[in-house]
C-alpha cells in the first residue's frame, strides 16, 4: 500500500525565517524553499547544523522567491549533494544570480573577519557555510517556469506557481501528489503594493501553508501617495537635524521601493537636491534586474525611477568608507535587519551622533541588531565595539512587503474550502496564536495547526493532517532573544555602570563579585558532571 504524502517542517515553524518544507511521496522528495535562519546568534547557528534530510536524496526544489530566508541555504544544499532542478519564476532566477553570490561572499568575508579578531587568537578557525563558487553552482541549477503553468518537478508531483505579490518574481506554490492538493503561500504581499499586482491563487485545497509574519498586526490602509508623504516628512525632519539619514534596507525590493518614492519626490520638487547613496553592490545589481523586467512592473515612471541624478551607487569598499565624512545625506545600506553587510559600518559612524537619524522601514526579527535598536537600547555592540545610541530612531511601517492581519485572514478565507488542515508558519509565537484565534473564529470548520521545527505530518486528501513525528521545542526557544543578545547588552553598558560606583575599591569589589558568580556556575556544572559519573 502506497504511503500518503508526508510533510516535514525544517524551518519557519514558530519563527519567521529559515523556510524549508519537505514533501515526500512514493520515495520522491521535493523541498519548497531552502532558506537561512536569521535572528539571534543561537538561531543563526542552526544554519551550520545538519540538514534534517540527506541533500543527495532530494529530487527537486520549488523556490517561492529570492529572499535569503527562503533561498539562502541552496548553495549548501548543492555543495552537499543535491543535483536536481530548482524550479522558480524567471525574475527569481535572475535575482538569484546576484543574491546567492553575494551571500557566499558575505559568508567568506565574515569568517575571515571573525578569524582575524585578536580575542580569538589560538582558537580553531571558523569555516564559511558555503562559498561564492557554491552559490553560483546552485544558481546554475535554476529552472525558470511561467506563472500558472503546470510542471512536473519529479514523477508523481504536479505543481504550478501563482503571483504572491511580495517581491519581484515571488510566488505561491501549488502541489498535487498522492491525491492531495496543497498550497504553500510563500510570503504574501499587501494589497496595493508598489510594482506588483495583488496576490492570487485558486481555492479549494486539502492543505494550506500560510505565512503569519504580521498575524497580530493590522496596518491602516495606505496608498502609495500617502506613504510618500510619510517618507517626505521623515526625510525633511532628518535633514533639519543636520546629520545623515541612515536607512537599513533590504537590497531586494525595499531599496527599489524607496528609490521609486525618493525619485518621485525629487521629480516633483518636494525634496531639495539631497544626495542619496545606495551603499550596496547587491542593491545595484538587483535594480538592474528590476530595469530588465520593467515592462512587468506597475508604478514605474519612465523618466526617473531608477536613474534619478541624486542617486549614487557605491561599489567598492573605499567608496563606502568615504561616506564616513559626509553629512546631510541619505544613506541606504543592507542588510535590512542590521545583521551583516555595510549597514553595520554606517551605524558605527552615525548611531553616536545626535544630529543623525536611523529610519527603519522593514520587519526586524527577534534577536537582530535592528530589533534591539528599535526597542530602545541605549548602547549596542557592533563588531566588537560598544556604541552609544544618540541618533534619532524612527520607523515607517507602510513599506512592509507582507500582508497584514486582515489581508492574511482574507487570503485564507479566499482559499476555502480547506478540506484538511491549515498550517500557520513564518511567524513569531504571538502572531501565530492571534492569527489562529481569528481564523478559527472566522472559519470554524478549519483546523489551524502551529507546527514546530522537525514535526512531520501525513497528508491524506479530505482528512485533517495527522502528526507522525514530534518537533523540537528547544529550537523554538532559539528564535527569540538569546544569551548572546543579553551578553552584548550587558557588556556594552558594563563600563558605564561601573563608573557610577562611587570608589575605585568598590568597583574592584563589584568586578570580583561578578567573577565569583560566573565561577560558581562553572563549578556547579563540573560538580554535576562528576556526580553523574559516580
Report the 3 state secondary structure along 125-151: CCCCCCCHHHHHHHHCCEEECCCCCCE
Residue that is last in its domain, among 325, 360, 395? 395
Among 477, 512, 528, the domain-final residue is 477
Residue 317 lies in a domain: yes
For cell 492543505, name the residue. 207
Last residue of a domain, one of 439, 458, 477: 477
Alpha carbons 386 and 497: distance in angstroms, whole number: 13
Q: Which residue has the higher pLDDT, 208 or 513?
A: 208
Residue 342 has pLDDT above 80, yes or no: yes
| 337 and 460 inside one domain | no
Between CA 166 and CA 337, with CA 281 as vertex, the angle to 5 degrees is: 50
The mean per-residue pLDDT over the stretch 390-398 comes to 94
Shared-domain flag, residues 213 and 228: no
- Residue 232 shares a structural domain with residue 185: no
Whether 455 and 471 have beta carbons less than 8 Å apart is answered as: yes
Residue 465: give its domain's CATH number.
3.60.15.10
pLDDT at position 479 over 60: no
Give residues with Cβ within 8 angstroms of 460, minimum separation 6: 4, 5, 178, 179, 180, 420, 466
Which of the four pLDDT bands, split at 50, 70 and 90, describes residue 118?
A: low
Give 127-183 pLDDT, tens digit per residue.
999 999 999 999 999 999 999 999 999 999 999 999 999 999 999 999 999 999 999
424 and 354 within one domain: no
Q: 38-66, pLDDT tens digit by residue?
A: 877 788 889 999 999 999 999 999 999 99
Please tell me the distance from the alpha carbon of residue 450 to that of residue 470, in angstroms, as a whole number. 12
**SS3 (DSSP) at 320:** helix
Q: Residues near 334 by Cβ (< 8 Å), separated by ≥ 6? A: 248, 249, 250, 251, 255, 280, 282, 283, 340, 341, 342, 343
Q: CA–CA distance from 321 to each of 49, 135, 316, 349, 387 (Å)? A: 35, 27, 9, 10, 18
Q: Using 50, 70 and 90 to split pLDDT, how confident is the model at 1?
A: low
CA distances from 153 to 21, 26, 84, 142, 508 (A): 15, 14, 9, 12, 66
> Are residues 375 and 237 part of one domain?
yes
For the chain, percent of residues with pLDDT exceeding 70: 91
Co-location of 152 and 84 in the same domain: yes
Split at pLDDT 50, 70, 90, the class of 510 is confident
pLDDT, mean of residues 256-277: 93
Residue 489 inside a domain? The answer is: no
Residue 233 C-alpha cell reads as: 516628512
Give residue 221's pLDDT. 86
Residue 6 backbone dihedrals phi, psi, to 5 degrees: -120, 155
290 shares a domain with 249: yes
Domain that holds residue 319: 224-395
pLDDT in tens, 414-440: 999 999 999 999 999 999 999 999 999
Between CA 453 and CA 465 the distance in angstroms is: 16
Q: What is the pTM of this model?
A: 0.85
Q: Are strands 379-382 and 385-388 parallel, antiparallel or unpaired?
A: antiparallel
401, 193 Cβ separation under 8 angstroms:
yes
**Do 59 and 182 have their domain in common?**
yes
Output the pLDDT for position 301.
67
**Is residue 398 helix, strand or coil?**
coil
Residue 210, classified by CB atoms within 10 Å of its CB into exposed (0-12), middle (13-18) or buried (19+), is: buried
Tell me what pLDDT residue 402 has: 94
Q: How far apart are alpha carbons 304 and 310 in whole angstroms?
A: 10
Q: How many domains does the chain have?
A: 2
Looking at the predicted structure, is the pLDDT value of residue 186 above 90? Answer: yes
Q: What residues does 143 pair with on adjacent strands?
A: 87
**Whether residue 46 is found in the same domain as residue 187:** yes
121 pLDDT higher than 90: no
Radius of gyration of the chain (CA): 24
The set of cell numbers assigned to 488 is 552584548
Distance (Å, rounded) from C-alpha 411 to C-alpha 416?
Answer: 9
pLDDT score for 534: 45
Amino acid at each position: 500500500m502506497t504511503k500518503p504524502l508526508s510533510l516535514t517542517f525544517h524551518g519557519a515553524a514558530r519563527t519567521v525565517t529559515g523556510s524549508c518544507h519537505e514533501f515526500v511521496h512514493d520515495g520522491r522528495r521535493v523541498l519548497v524553499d531552502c532558506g537561512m535562519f536569521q535572528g539571534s546568534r543561537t538561531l543563526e547557528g542552526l544554519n551550520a547544523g545538519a540538514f534534517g534530510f540527506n541533500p543527495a536524496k532530494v529530487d527537486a526544489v520549488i523556490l517561492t522567491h529570492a529572499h535569503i530566508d527562503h533561498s539562502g541555504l541552496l548553495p549548501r544544499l548543492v555543495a552537499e549533494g543535491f543535483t536536481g532542478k530548482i524550479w522558480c519564476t524567471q525574475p527569481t532566477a535572475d535575482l538569484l544570480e546576484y543574491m546567492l553570490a553575494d551571500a557566499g561572499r558575505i559568508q567568506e568575508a565574515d569568517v575571515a573577519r571573525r578569524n582575524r579578531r585578536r580575542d580569538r587568537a589560538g582558537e580553531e578557525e571558523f569555516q564559511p557555510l558555503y562559498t561564492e563558487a557554491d552559490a553560483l553552482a546552485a544558481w546554475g541549477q535554476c529552472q525558470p517556469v511561467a506563472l500558472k503553468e503546470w510542471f512536473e518537478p519529479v514523477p508523481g508531483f504536479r505543481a504550478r506557481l501563482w503571483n504572491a505579490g511580495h517581491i519581484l518574481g515571488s510566488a505561491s506554490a501549488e502541489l498535487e501528489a498522492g491525491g492531495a492538493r496543497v498550497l504553500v503561500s510563500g510570503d504574501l504581499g499587501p494589497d496595493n503594493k508598489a510594482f506588483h499586482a495583488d496576490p492570487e491563487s485558486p481555492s479549494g485545497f486539502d492543505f494550506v501553508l500560510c505565512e503569519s509574519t504580521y498575524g497580530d498586526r493590522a496596518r491602516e490602509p495606505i496608498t502609495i501617495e500617502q506613504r510618500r508623504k510619510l517618507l517626505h516628512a521623515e526625510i525633511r525632519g532628518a535633514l533639519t537635524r543636520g546629520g545623515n539619514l541612515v536607512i537599513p534596507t533590504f537590497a531586494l525590493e525595499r531599496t527599489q521601493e524607496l528609490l521609486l518614492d525618493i525619485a518621485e519626490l525629487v521629480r516633483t520638487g518636494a525634496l531639495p537636491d539631497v544626495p542619496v547613496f545606495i551603499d550596496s553592490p547587491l542593491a545595484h545589481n538587483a535594480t538592474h534586474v528590476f530595469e530588465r523586467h520593467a515592462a512587468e512592473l506597475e508604478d514605474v515612471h519612465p523618466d526617473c525611477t531608477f536613474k534619478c541624478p541624486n542617486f549614487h551607487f557605491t561599489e567598492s569598499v573605499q567608496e563606502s568608507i568615504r561616506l564616513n565624512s559626509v553629512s546631510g545625506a541619505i544613506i541606504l545600506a543592507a542588510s535590512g535587519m542590521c545583521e551583516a553587510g555595510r549597514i553595520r559600518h554606517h551605524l558605527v559612524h552615525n548611531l553616536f551622533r545626535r544630529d543623525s537619524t536611523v529610519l527603519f522601514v522593514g520587519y526586524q526579527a527577534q534577536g537582530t541588531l535592528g530589533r534591539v535598536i528599535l526597542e530602545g537600547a541605549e548602547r549596542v555592540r557592533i563588531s566588537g565595539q560598544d556604541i552609544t545610541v544618540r541618533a534619532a530612531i524612527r520607523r515607517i511601517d507602510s513599506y512592509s512587503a507582507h500582508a497584514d492581519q486582515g489581508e492574511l485572514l482574507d487570503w485564507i478565507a479566499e482559499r476555502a474550502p480547506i478540506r484538511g488542515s491549515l498550517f500557520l508558519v513564518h511567524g513569531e509565537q504571538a502572531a501565530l496564536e492571534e492569527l489562529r484565534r481569528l481564523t478559527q473564529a472566522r472559519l470554524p470548520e478549519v483546523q489551524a495547526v502551529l507546527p514546530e521545527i522537525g514535526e512531520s505530518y501525513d497528508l491524506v486528501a479530505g482528512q485533517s493532517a495527522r502528526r507522525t513525528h514530534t518537533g523540537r521545542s528547544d529550537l523554538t526557544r532559539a528564535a527569540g532573544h538569546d544569551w548572546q543578545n543579553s551578553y552584548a547588552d550587558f557588556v556594552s553598558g558594563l563600563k558605564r555602570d561601573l563608573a557610577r560606583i562611587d570608589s575605585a575599591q568598590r568597583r574592584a569589589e563589584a568586578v570580583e563579585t561578578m567573577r565569583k558568580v560566573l565561577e560558581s556556575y562553572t563549578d556547579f556544572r563540573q560538580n554535576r558532571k562528576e556526580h553523574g559519573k559516580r
